Amino acid sequence: MMENIIFRNFLGGKGLKLTKERTAVLSEVYSFHGHFEPEYLYSRIKGSGSKASRASVYRTLSLLVECGLVKRVTRTDKGNIYEHTYGHSHHDHMICDICGEIIEFFSEKLEKLQDEICEKNSFIGSSHALEIRGRCKKCRM
Protein backbone atom coordinates (compact mmCIF):
# COMPACT_ATOMS: atom_id res chain seq x y z
CA MET A 1 0.00 0.00 0.00
CA MET A 2 1.54 3.15 -1.28
CA GLU A 3 -0.32 5.33 1.19
CA ASN A 4 1.42 3.63 4.11
CA ILE A 5 4.78 4.47 2.66
CA ILE A 6 3.76 8.05 2.04
CA PHE A 7 2.52 8.40 5.58
CA ARG A 8 5.61 6.79 7.07
CA ASN A 9 7.88 9.11 5.11
CA PHE A 10 5.84 12.12 6.09
CA LEU A 11 6.02 11.19 9.75
CA GLY A 12 9.70 10.33 9.60
CA GLY A 13 10.49 13.65 8.02
CA LYS A 14 8.90 15.45 10.92
CA GLY A 15 10.33 13.31 13.67
CA LEU A 16 6.96 11.76 14.38
CA LYS A 17 6.28 8.14 15.05
CA LEU A 18 4.24 5.54 13.24
CA THR A 19 2.04 4.06 15.91
CA LYS A 20 -0.55 1.28 15.83
CA GLU A 21 -3.26 3.87 16.25
CA ARG A 22 -2.10 5.96 13.32
CA THR A 23 -1.80 2.88 11.18
CA ALA A 24 -5.30 1.83 12.17
CA VAL A 25 -6.76 5.19 11.24
CA LEU A 26 -5.00 5.27 7.92
CA SER A 27 -6.03 1.80 6.91
CA GLU A 28 -9.58 2.43 8.00
CA VAL A 29 -9.68 5.59 5.89
CA TYR A 30 -8.54 3.56 2.92
CA SER A 31 -10.78 0.59 3.62
CA PHE A 32 -13.75 2.16 1.90
CA HIS A 33 -14.47 4.69 -0.77
CA GLY A 34 -16.47 7.82 -0.65
CA HIS A 35 -16.82 10.65 1.78
CA PHE A 36 -16.87 10.43 5.53
CA GLU A 37 -17.27 12.36 8.72
CA PRO A 38 -14.78 11.98 11.56
CA GLU A 39 -17.36 10.46 13.89
CA TYR A 40 -18.28 7.88 11.30
CA LEU A 41 -14.64 7.00 10.91
CA TYR A 42 -14.31 6.69 14.66
CA SER A 43 -17.29 4.38 14.88
CA ARG A 44 -15.87 2.18 12.14
CA ILE A 45 -12.58 1.95 13.98
CA LYS A 46 -14.30 1.00 17.21
CA GLY A 47 -16.13 -1.70 15.30
CA SER A 48 -12.99 -3.02 13.66
CA GLY A 49 -10.36 -5.17 15.35
CA SER A 50 -7.93 -2.35 15.94
CA LYS A 51 -8.63 0.55 18.19
CA ALA A 52 -7.89 4.23 18.55
CA SER A 53 -9.48 6.81 20.79
CA ARG A 54 -11.57 9.65 19.45
CA ALA A 55 -8.71 12.03 20.20
CA SER A 56 -6.31 9.92 18.18
CA VAL A 57 -8.70 9.68 15.28
CA TYR A 58 -8.99 13.45 15.11
CA ARG A 59 -5.28 13.97 15.61
CA THR A 60 -4.39 11.47 12.93
CA LEU A 61 -6.91 12.93 10.54
CA SER A 62 -5.16 16.28 10.82
CA LEU A 63 -1.85 14.64 9.99
CA LEU A 64 -3.35 12.87 7.01
CA VAL A 65 -4.71 16.14 5.70
CA GLU A 66 -1.35 17.77 6.26
CA CYS A 67 0.47 15.16 4.22
CA GLY A 68 -2.11 15.17 1.47
CA LEU A 69 -3.52 11.69 1.87
CA VAL A 70 -6.88 13.03 2.98
CA LYS A 71 -8.69 16.14 1.98
CA ARG A 72 -11.46 18.10 3.61
CA VAL A 73 -14.22 18.22 1.06
CA THR A 74 -16.64 20.59 2.70
CA ARG A 75 -18.31 21.52 5.93
CA THR A 76 -21.93 20.84 6.60
CA ASP A 77 -23.91 22.32 9.44
CA LYS A 78 -22.83 19.29 11.40
CA GLY A 79 -19.14 19.22 10.74
CA ASN A 80 -16.37 18.36 8.35
CA ILE A 81 -16.56 15.91 5.51
CA TYR A 82 -13.39 14.25 4.26
CA GLU A 83 -12.27 11.95 1.50
CA HIS A 84 -9.10 10.03 0.92
CA THR A 85 -7.11 11.24 -2.02
CA TYR A 86 -4.45 8.72 -2.88
CA GLY A 87 -5.27 7.28 -6.26
CA HIS A 88 -7.90 9.95 -6.77
CA SER A 89 -7.07 12.87 -8.94
CA HIS A 90 -8.33 16.34 -8.16
CA HIS A 91 -12.01 16.95 -8.67
CA ASP A 92 -14.82 19.15 -7.46
CA HIS A 93 -18.26 18.41 -6.08
CA MET A 94 -21.93 18.79 -6.75
CA ILE A 95 -24.09 18.36 -3.68
CA CYS A 96 -27.78 17.59 -3.87
CA ASP A 97 -29.79 19.83 -1.58
CA ILE A 98 -32.51 17.21 -1.32
CA CYS A 99 -30.81 13.89 -0.68
CA GLY A 100 -27.31 15.06 0.16
CA GLU A 101 -25.66 12.98 -2.52
CA ILE A 102 -22.19 14.13 -3.47
CA ILE A 103 -21.24 13.82 -7.11
CA GLU A 104 -17.65 14.29 -8.19
CA PHE A 105 -16.58 15.91 -11.40
CA PHE A 106 -13.47 17.26 -13.02
CA SER A 107 -13.23 20.12 -15.46
CA GLU A 108 -10.06 21.02 -17.25
CA LYS A 109 -11.58 24.39 -18.10
CA LEU A 110 -12.05 25.12 -14.43
CA GLU A 111 -8.40 24.42 -13.71
CA LYS A 112 -7.37 26.89 -16.35
CA LEU A 113 -9.90 29.37 -15.13
CA GLN A 114 -8.42 29.32 -11.66
CA ASP A 115 -5.02 30.28 -13.02
CA GLU A 116 -6.53 33.07 -15.06
CA ILE A 117 -8.47 34.48 -12.15
CA CYS A 118 -5.50 34.32 -9.81
CA GLU A 119 -3.24 36.09 -12.23
CA LYS A 120 -5.75 38.83 -12.75
CA ASN A 121 -5.90 39.42 -8.99
CA SER A 122 -2.25 39.01 -8.12
CA PHE A 123 -3.13 36.01 -6.04
CA ILE A 124 -1.05 32.87 -5.79
CA GLY A 125 -3.64 30.15 -5.87
CA SER A 126 -2.66 26.85 -4.32
CA SER A 127 -5.97 25.08 -4.41
CA HIS A 128 -9.61 25.60 -5.13
CA ALA A 129 -12.91 24.01 -4.37
CA LEU A 130 -15.96 24.50 -6.50
CA GLU A 131 -19.15 23.35 -4.92
CA ILE A 132 -22.29 23.34 -7.00
CA ARG A 133 -25.56 22.92 -5.18
CA GLY A 134 -28.87 21.94 -6.63
CA ARG A 135 -30.84 18.80 -7.38
CA CYS A 136 -29.43 15.55 -8.59
CA LYS A 137 -30.96 13.41 -11.30
CA LYS A 138 -33.04 11.42 -8.83
CA CYS A 139 -34.36 14.43 -6.96
CA ARG A 140 -35.35 16.75 -9.73
CA MET A 141 -39.08 17.30 -9.84
In sequence order, which residues have a C-beta less than 8 Å from that of residue 10 and are 6 or more positions away? 63, 66, 67
Which is closer to a second copy, CB of 40 or CB of 123?
123
Minimum gap (Å) between residue 91 Cβ and DNA: 21
Residue list 95-114, contact with a second copy (CB under 8 A): 96-97, 103, 105, 107, 109-110, 113-114
Cα 54 to Cα 39: distance, rounded to the nearest angstrom = 8
Distances (CA, A) of 48 to 1, 12, 57: 19, 27, 14
Nearest distance from residue 23's CB to DNA, in Å?
A: 9
28 binds, among a second copy, DNA, none (CB under 5 to 8 A by kind): none
> With binding defined as CB under 7 A, does residue 56 bind DNA?
yes
Say how far apart CA 140 and CA 68 lie, in whole Å.
Answer: 35
The DSSP H or E segment spanning 6 is helix 2-13
Q: Give the shortest CB-53-to-DNA separation in angstroms.
A: 3
Q: Identity (one letter) of the amino acid at 104?
A: E
Residue ranges binding DNA (CB under 7 A): 11-12, 15-22, 37-39, 51-56, 58-60, 62, 77-80
Binding-site positions for Zn(2+): 96, 99, 136, 139
